[in-house]
Structure 1
């Protein structure tokens, strides 16, 4: 177990821990059919774990990272915890549950399309009671996602706010039954809401009578306008990621901020969003201004697209520094 030092700012990640089983197939099996795959790959995943790894690699010796979640009392759970520890992440807040470790079963066809089934398992078990006391202070940034129970995430966000810390919520995946009341409850103790374009539109449509949200956002200007209306309705800062077009952010009190993505040869965008969220959280914990934090996160997400996989593609701090320096020189 990695011990967090009290003299550092910290990122506390409360979220999901999975093992991913990935098969490459000729085509996705329709109902009632079986398809064969030559082999499979076992990878570590879960949006919570992914964001923790991204934060730890970006923070290195500057920011301490702790993971709070749950795994099963099984060998997969042991492997998940060991992987986090190898990445320098404190695992004291990971609960061992009677439920099996969460798993995702992923089929990818020859065109790159996928079909994913996620078995939540132990990811239904984490609670605010698992949050270590050392992570509750004014130098903590909490990172949340949507793969663990909403009530538990709300409880942890309240604890962090009461301690003077800040919270970042990545609204992914958007629950199909998310409504106005639940979205507002989620955002009560949130400082930043991170969404991609489809999640932005989905969030806006949840707010009954507040926002007339388009189903298809065409331009960064339309994204900024919708994000501003959402920010005002929810009283949170909004960060909208636009893939290769960069990022648009609306601080709660301030003007729109835009930053570009890096130009890279993209091989796989899996995990780019989690990379962005983890690195953004680390940059906030370090005390960077919003635009600088967004620039680091956008650069890291771009770098993560150069390699296949999620955690395996996430860059380290030195890579991010070098990429930003190169972009400035160019």
Structure 2
């Protein structure tokens, strides 16, 4: 089983010619709503490529409101086990996203119920079956650390997507999280930032940052680099590269989450890291062809058809 412990949001998306600069107002013709939250996105991505072959469970929190009910129903409709989702006293998380004509995005997240997520809400019977635990940074870091330690005691592998990197996170807490991480997934900027947070200046080179993080904490650091694909660095310095197929993106929102979810599924079904990364890169590229974080996430059939082609 893959268990995703993390955020559940409703995304409100506006398309603009250019993303607003500080103090600037830009106009958009309309705003559309999409299901999101990095945790929910990663759970949906994993469940879609699984097609029911491996169970995917979501543990998170929603508000007692229409957005929360819709988000829970959407996860269930995508084949995700929702027994670990609880109702909090805060409103359901909401993300405000602007997407420019090149497909680039800027995102502001109102966390709401996501800050009320607790390790204790994860059903013990679910964690006992978990082979892969997936974490992100849209819920309290202390809860991530606690559930990761619990999962490690149960012999699960921990994938930590350190995104978004929290401003002001304490060095000790970040180090504690890295100590219970098997695979750290970051983009180029996040790799450098996380390395700096634990006192390692990588000189602006994300592969140097990845190498030092991997060596210091005996983990595998995977850096997603957009059109350049993804790079993995092991603790012994071994590097792996997976290429990304060229696409003309409509919306890059959710591409990183697609990568993480499909990577988690690939590892859960026993694939080698190179193969799992390659499939994740292709899935992430496919997700960029449709607006919305989850809308373009490929099914198992679509991913297999693309691989065959």
Number of the residue aligned with 1:213: 202
Is the 2:216–2:235 Cα contact (8 Å) retained in structure 1? no
Change (3 A) 1:114 1:296: closer
- Length-normalised TM-score, structure 2: 0.93
Q: CA RMSD in A?
A: 2.1
Return the match for 1:24 from 5, 15, 36: 15
- TM superposition shift of 1:160: 0.8
Change (3 A) 1:24 1:68: same
Q: Distance in 2 between matches of 1:68 and 1:15?
A: 6
Give the length in aligned residue pairs.
309
- TM superposition shift of 1:25: 4.5
Number of the residue aligned with 1:99: 90
Q: Which runs of 5+ in 2 are unaligned?
A: none
Change (3 A) 1:183 1:307: same
> In structure 1, the residue corresponding to 2:165 is in which secondary structure?
coil
- TM superposition shift of 1:144: 0.4
Map Cα deviations across residues 223-276 of structure 1 (whole Å, 9 max, x no partner): 444322211112221111111111111233572111111233322211110000
Map Cα deviations across residues 73-107 of structure 1 (whole Å, 9 max, x no partner): 11111101000010000100001011111111234
- TM superposition shift of 1:290: 1.2
Return the match for 1:194 from 185, 200, 205: 185
**Range that drifts further, 90-99 or 262-271:** 262-271
Find the structure with the greater CA-based Rg.
Answer: 1
Q: Distance in 1 between matches of 2:246 and 2:104?
A: 24
Number of the residue aligned with 2:154: 163
Q: Distance in 2 between matches of 1:78 and 1:70?
A: 11
Q: Distance in 1 between matches of 2:61 and 2:254?
A: 21
- TM superposition shift of 1:117: 2.7
> In structure 2, the residue corresponding to 1:137 is in which secondary structure?
helix
The answer to whether structure 1 residue 248 and structure 2 residue 231 are counterparts is yes
Number of the residue aligned with 2:59: 68
Number of the residue aligned with 1:268: 251
- TM superposition shift of 1:179: 4.1
Change (3 A) 1:165 1:39: same
Change (3 A) 1:28 1:297: closer
